[in-house]
Chain A
Amino acid sequence: MVVELFLDLLSQPCRALFIFAKKNNIPFEFKHVELIKGQHLSEEFGKVNVLKKVPALKDGTFTLAESIAILLYLSRKFNTPDHWYPSDLRKRARVDEYLSWQHTAIREKGCRIFFTKVLMPLAVGQPFSPDKLEEAVKEMNFTLVQFEEKFLQDKPFIVGSEISLADLVAIVELMQPVASGCDIFADRPKLAAWRSRVEEAVGKELFQEAHKQVLNAKSLGSMQLSSELKEHLKQILKP
């Protein structure tokens, strides 16, 4: 039985998984859970993941939520190349350190920009709030300074000379503001150079494929959210 990955490539953590599985030739069945149709909120999907979020994994009777947990599970089960999650104690710790920090840093701030600029307007049928966007961008800027100072520094990749799960998880999150029209790489040459290296290491074609949907600005702006999703968003985003 092939592993099932429940994904929507609009979601950053789903892209990390998609890229990781494809790059490592891990056979899987792509189970599309369309977020804009609110399919993640269905009872059926709730049986796969009671938290009603993507991504989710189903390996036989074993189900697993949380992209970080899924990435680690796949790396172990399929014995992926060491550089993804180095066996060296300290290098591995550096990956763990980033994967932990990013939840409330890069991931949170990137999501906030996307919610403010793209999702909220679609949910409430009004243009985005420039003040709120400015605040969100300010917070992202601060986080990016921390990213460059603490995690990237002058190394080619977060852990050193090779790409790891840390870079993969970081890059997909940083593409969300880009997709929202906030090009955070524009005036950050060091970050942009790191992005190129990550794209190269992943494979440009695969990277493009994973990001095709979210980078289609036109279609993003005209997404038809289901009414259930709109209500759900209004509740959790608190405009």
Chain B
Amino acid sequence: MLTGRMALELYLDLISPPCRAVYIFAKKNNICFEFKPVELFKGQQHTEEFAKVNILKKVPVLKDGVFTLAESTAILLYLSRKYNTPDHWYSSDLQKRARVDEYLSWHHNSFRRIAPKTLWIKVLIPLFTGQAAPPEKLQEVIDELAASLVQFEEKFLQDKPFIMGSEISLADLMAVVELMQPVGVGCHIFADRPKLAAWRSRVEEAVGKELFQEAHEQILNIKELSSIEVEPKLKELLAPTLMKMLK
């Protein structure tokens, strides 16, 4: 007997780093899902329709039947448990798991907070205001990111192949997708950081180069964005955040 089973839905825009983490994780682990695109540059996260899916108006979002879930960390953990993904993603060893939790927590106020600013400054501000952002603003962000990268290498990566140890985990995945944002807009943060670059190669390898490229295709071609027409309504919506950035 066939029971009507609703497919797992993932609301994503691959421009967004946490969406890429969820996308890569699901694909890598052969988790069947329906890709529900939410185009951020068209302001689709602000529609009433999407608000019904996530009142916080953000991606990624998971919808599993009537159960909806926001926050990429929560989604990744939910998927890892529900689909019994290989242990290394979120080790059952108490201390190894704690290391992953430790990174996932620190991540919010470091890479997650800082890395996206490179996109704002290099692409979005020019796109929305028709002017380049002041160069000192970009330098400020690059300096902030540099400080975070030092902490990352000193505390989280150290001399291990991956954050947790010898295998890739959710921590590496969340970190790498975030660091691809500056790369996409032309800030080559891996260029003069051999240890970090080596770690990135290992993560790409562990994820699968093809899948990694696929997930990052959009952000790596973001410069093409500069030719798009931005809806006036969206400009209005994003103006306050933009102004804050320029202060």
**A and B physically associate:** yes
Q: Let me know if A101 and B56 touch, CB within 8 A.
A: yes
List which B74-101 residues lie within 8 A (CB) of chain A. 74, 77-78, 81-82, 94-95, 97-99, 101
CA of A68 to CA of B97, assembled, Å? 12
Q: Residues of A contacting B210 with CB < 8 Å?
A: none
The answer to whether A161 has its CB under 8 Å from any CB of chain B is: no
Stretch of B38-46, B63-71, B117-125 on the interface side? B63-71
Cβ of B143 < 8 Å from any Cβ of A? no
Asked if A96 meets B77 with Cβ closer than 8 Å, knowing A66-B102, A149-B55, the reply is yes
Report the tally of A-B residue pairs with Cβ distances under 8 A.
Answer: 89
Q: How large is the interface on B (under 10, 10 to 19, 20 to 34, 35 or more residues)?
A: 20 to 34
Residues of A48-101 contacting chain B, CB below 8 A:
50-51, 62, 64-70, 72-73, 76-77, 89-90, 92-94, 96-97, 99-101
Interface membership of chain B positions 16-31, coded 1 if the CB is closer than 8 angstroms to chain A and 0 otherwise: 0000000000000000
Q: Say yes or no for B129: interface residue by CB 8 A criterion.
A: no
Query: B175-227: which residues lie under 8 A (CB-CB) from chain A?
Result: none
Q: How far, in whole Å, are A93 and B72 apart by their CA atoms in the complex?
A: 11
Whether A101 contacts B71 by the Cβ 8 Å rule is yes
CB distance from A145 to the nearest CB of B (A): 10
B154 CB-CB contact with A under 8 Å: yes
Tell me how far the C-beta of B131 lies from the nearest C-beta in chain A, rounded to whole angstroms. Answer: 24
B106 touches A100 (CB 8 A): no
Q: Chain B: which residue is nearest A93 at the CB level?
A: B78
Q: Are B109 and A103 in contact (CB under 8 A)?
A: yes
CB contact between B71 and one of A67, A77, A96, A146 (< 8 Å): that residue: A96
Interface string of B143-180 (1 = CB under 8 A from A): 00000000100110000000000000000000000000
- Give the 5 A-B CB pairs with smallest separation, nearest first: A69-B101, A96-B74, A103-B108, A66-B105, A100-B71
Q: List 5 interface pairs A-B (beta carbons < 8 Å), by A numbering.
A: A64-B99, A76-B97, A92-B78, A97-B71, A103-B109
- Chain B interface (Cβ < 8 Å from any Cβ of A): 55-56, 67, 69-74, 77-78, 81-82, 94-95, 97-99, 101-102, 104-106, 108-109, 112-113, 151, 154-155
